[in-house]
């Protein structure tokens, strides 16, 4: 399974914030640290906030912080939420499937089980297991 860069950066944001949970982080500073587009990271942070993983505050002294303790954030849940619009294979897409094997395919159920097992295995860990603190911070 391959995760999108959107999910990759979402996990990085959470890991970084978990390393200093009381400090608000701005999109600009995280974009600089991760060497990624500020616009792209703003979308990631917005999605994390919309999912309830981050709290955001505008203005002076504003930024984003974790909405819950790192030990309460399950990794599989984060990935499932951020990857929700990404079908593992075409036949999983909400818009339907053009696959000619669909009526008799026996792979779809196996892939669904594998995807569920992937999320379940990651849910055995929490963000607290992956806290990131840069050496120069």
User: 99-123 pLDDT, tens per residue?
Assistant: 777 778 788 788 889 889 999 999 9
For 73, 92, 102, 114, the CA distances from 14, given in Å and listed in that order, are 9, 28, 38, 25
- Angstrom distance (rounded) from CA 25 to CA 13: 9
Torsion sign over Cα 57, 58, 60, 62? positive
62 close to 56: Cβ distance less than 8 angstroms:
yes
- Angstrom distance (rounded) from CA 131 to CA 18: 5
Residue owning tokens 């607290």: 128
- Angstrom distance (rounded) from CA 31 to CA 12: 11
What class has domain 5-129?
A: mainly alpha
Confidence of residue 16 (pLDDT cuts 50, 70, 90): very high
pTM attached to this predicted model: 0.87
Where are the domains positioned within the chain?
5-129
In the prediction, which pLDDT does 28 show? 95
């Amino acid at each position: 399974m391959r995760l999108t860069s959107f999910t990759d950066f979402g996990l990085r944001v959470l890991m970084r914030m978990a390393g200093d949970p009381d400090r608000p982080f701005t999109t600009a500073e995280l974009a600089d640290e991760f060497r990624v587009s500020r616009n792209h990271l703003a979308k990631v942070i917005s999605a994390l906030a919309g999912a309830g993983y981050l709290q955001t505050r505008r203005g002076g002294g504003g930024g984003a912080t974790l909405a819950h303790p790192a030990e309460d954030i399950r990794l599989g849940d984060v990935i499932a939420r951020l990857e929700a619009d990404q079908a593992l294979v075409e036949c999983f897409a909400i818009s339907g499937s053009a696959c000619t094997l669909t009526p008799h395919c026996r792979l779809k159920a196996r892939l669904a089980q594998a995807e569920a097992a992937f999320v379940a295995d990651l849910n055995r860990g929490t963000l607290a297991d992956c806290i990131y603190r840069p050496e120069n911070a």
